[in-house]
Structure 1
Amino acid sequence: MIGERSIFTTISVNNLKNPVAPFEVVVQANKNGGICDVILPKTQAEPVKPVDTSNGEAVRAYNAAKREYDCYMRERSALRSEALNRYQGRQLYSAYVEETLNDFLTYLLN
């Protein structure tokens, strides 16, 4: 979570499907400059629970949308874990790490 005094940077990652709108990935560092968190962009909104639960069709549609959203979030969590497994603790402002992290995120998100 990004706090008021957090050290972070935003990396623009090329979007091969839509080159006009690149992905904005936030990378957070600890006080020593090591990478401690990667926040990936969310491209899918969480479904809203229906107010009227007596309407069976609306509840079924919500349940289907919720299952799809949960699957999407598990995939995003796996991508975040993969990025942290490789880069956690490495110096954020190292030229080599910045370049390889950008390439790795391009590979993951496209």
Structure 2
Amino acid sequence: MRASLAMVFPCSQPDWAKETGELRRYHVQETDIQRAIKAATLRAGIPKRVSPHTLRHSFATHLLQANYDIRRIQQMLGHSNVRTTMIYTHTIKSDLKPLKSPLDL
């Protein structure tokens, strides 16, 4: 099961549940998170479009840069096919030297 961003960020104040009358802490709405990211993007002067999904891409890219196993990243992102996860590999610069044929030496 994949968690949405709203499930990760609880509201700052508890509220009374209408159904049970219990005091509980709900989660912020996804639109609140989207607005917060948009405001932060504007304050930072970032000219590109940024969304909560951008954080997901950044997370996957950083894990690949840190040499985490692509199958583990696939599992964390909830992708059913590793090919979906491999889309992130195009952004990673390789530290490997290009292979040369023995005939070119």
TM bucket normalised to smaller? under 0.3
Q: TM-score, normalised by structure 2?
A: 0.22
The structure with the greater share of residues assigned to strand is 1
The structure with the greater share of residues assigned to helix is 2
Which has the larger Rg?
2
Q: TM-score, normalised by structure 1?
A: 0.22
